[in-house]
Amino acid sequence: MTLLFEENQGILEIMLDGLADSILVVDSSASILFANKAVKDLFELTRDPVGRDILEVVRNHRIHKLVRETIESKKPVTEEIELTSGQRDTGQVVLSVNAEPLPGFVGDKYFRVILRDDTHRVETEQVRRDFVANASHELRTPLSIINGYIENLREGAVEDSKLAHRFLGIMKNHGDRIARIVEDMLTISKFESAAHDPTKAGAFDLQSCAHDVVERLHPLIEEKQANITVTPENSPSLICGDRFYWDQIFFNLVENALKQNVRTGLNVKISFHDQDTHFRICISDDGVGIPMAELPFIFKRFYRVEKHHSKEIKGTGLGLSIVKRAIESHGGTVEASSTPGKETAFVIHVPKGDVEHAVLMETESEEQLCEAR
């Protein structure tokens, strides 16, 4: 019987050690009777915590106070607690702490403490709050400008046809900017809510996608008298991925290069390098560049390099954030480098995926469709 109990206890401990949550069992004096592996990892313990007071182990008075409150009241207590960076080399950790009497024992002699790392959830919520606040600000500015010009037109500017035409042009530009902000926000929402793996979407030719984007940007390219080259020419670059995502990547990077430079004759190069299982893609231009101090921040949402902006309507500040998110969703990375006045380059490394399998699946699907007809 004793052997069976010990065996069951061992199985239970193995199961609890496999959980991500930190779980402790303490007695009425707050002495630890059990602690799973996650507890030892969370508090970076080098000694066995069993038999020690919980305060000695967690080194946090708020957690200790919460556990003592549960012991004295015999009622569950839950609180969110932040561990300081001094307790963790990785920085601040937000814990959801739940302490309650352990059910099934007479007299409430034992108490269970569950520590759940909620850092990611809290950080995500903060990012969302910041995003909403920034988006509101970005939308409010052009709306205020539009409303101002509407008031001017109502107050008599409409009688001057040239002035009215100028006002309407400015209003349209800001209206277009609002539409672009909303479009970019919807794109980000799609990335973050997508349940599907974009690398499972099928195979397509990256170079063909880049050519299509250049064609879409043709009016802006002509206006800027820019030169766009895609190399090597007529070289298939098959990859497993979502073409919509890559359309966003190429469009934002090329459009960004064109809009950030006021001078004509800009040279933009899109080059593809086959590296066996990966592609190395470089989008570079010889424009004004990005100051070195700004480079670490350019992929942040709503961040704009103001110093070198043209006098045109500003971008949304979301384009490069979309680029980074889309590339990472394909298991890739993107890095930016710049020598102002000489070259700015965005270098992408991305795995090709199982292209042969994707092509085979598409072929079989097409054959089945033909047979059904």
Beta bridge partners of 84: none
Confidence band of 1 (pLDDT split at 50, 70, 90): very low
Q: Among 264, 274, 266, 213, which residue's Cα sits nearest to residue 243?
A: 213
More confident residue, 185 or 30: 30
Residue 182 CA to residue 187 CA, distance in Å, equals 9
User: Number of structural domains, the chain?
Assistant: 3
Q: How confident is the model at residue 7, as a pLDDT?
A: 53
Which CATH number fits the domain that encloses residue 184?
1.10.287.130
Which CATH number fits the domain that encloses residue 359?
3.30.565.10
Q: How confident is the model at residue 317, as a pLDDT?
A: 72
Q: How confident is the model at residue 366, as a pLDDT?
A: 55
Helices of type H across the chain:
2-17, 37-42, 54-58, 61-73, 119-154, 161-193, 206-216, 218-224, 243-259, 319-328, 355-372
Return mean pLDDT, the chain: 80
Helix (H, G, I), strand (E, B), or coil: what is residue 42? helix
Which CATH number fits the domain that encloses residue 34?
3.30.450.20
Confidence band of 281 (pLDDT split at 50, 70, 90): very high
Would you call the peptide bond into 340 cis, given omega within 30 degrees of 0 as the criterion?
Answer: no
Identify which of 14-18, 42-46, 107-111, 206-210 has the greatest average pLDDT.
206-210
Residue 358 CA to residue 295 CA, distance in Å, equals 37
pLDDT, tens digit, 9 for 90 and up, residues 158-181: 677 787 788 888 888 888 778 877
Confidence band of 69 (pLDDT split at 50, 70, 90): very high
Q: Are residues 355 and 309 in the same domain?
A: yes
Q: Are 351 and 277 in contact (CB under 8 A)?
A: yes
- Residue in this structure with the two tokens 């996608």, named with its chain if needed: 209
Q: Does the pLDDT value for residue 263 go beyond 70?
A: yes
Structural domain ending residue among the three candidates 59, 87, 117 = 117
Q: Are residues 102 and 92 in the same domain?
A: yes
Structural domain ending residue among the three candidates 117, 137, 164 = 117
pTM of the model: 0.58
Residue 27 CA to residue 101 CA, distance in Å, equals 10
Q: How confident is the model at residue 370, as a pLDDT?
A: 58
pLDDT, tens digit, 9 for 90 and up, residues 106-163: 567 889 999 988 887 777 677 677 667 767 767 777 888 888 888 877 776 667 778 7
Strand duo 267-275 + 278-285: pairing: antiparallel
Q: Among 77, 147, 164, which residue's Cα sits nearest to residue 113?
A: 77
Q: What is the percent of the chain where pLDDT is above 70?
A: 80
Q: Are residues 25 and 166 in the same domain?
A: no
Q: Are 292 and 252 in contact (CB under 8 A)?
A: no
Q: Are residues 267 and 337 in the same domain?
A: yes
Measured between its terminal Cα atoms, the distance across the chain in Å is 69
Tokens for 120? 């990611």
Query: If you write DSSP's letter for every residue of 298-344 in order, what string do you get?
Result: TTSTT----TT--SS----S-HHHHHHHHHHTTT-EEEEEEETTTEE
Q: Are 241 and 353 in contact (CB under 8 A)?
A: yes
Q: Does the pLDDT value for residue 311 go beyond 60?
A: no
Q: Are residues 253 and 152 in the same domain?
A: no
Q: Are residues 8 and 63 in the same domain?
A: yes
Range of the domain at 277: 197-373
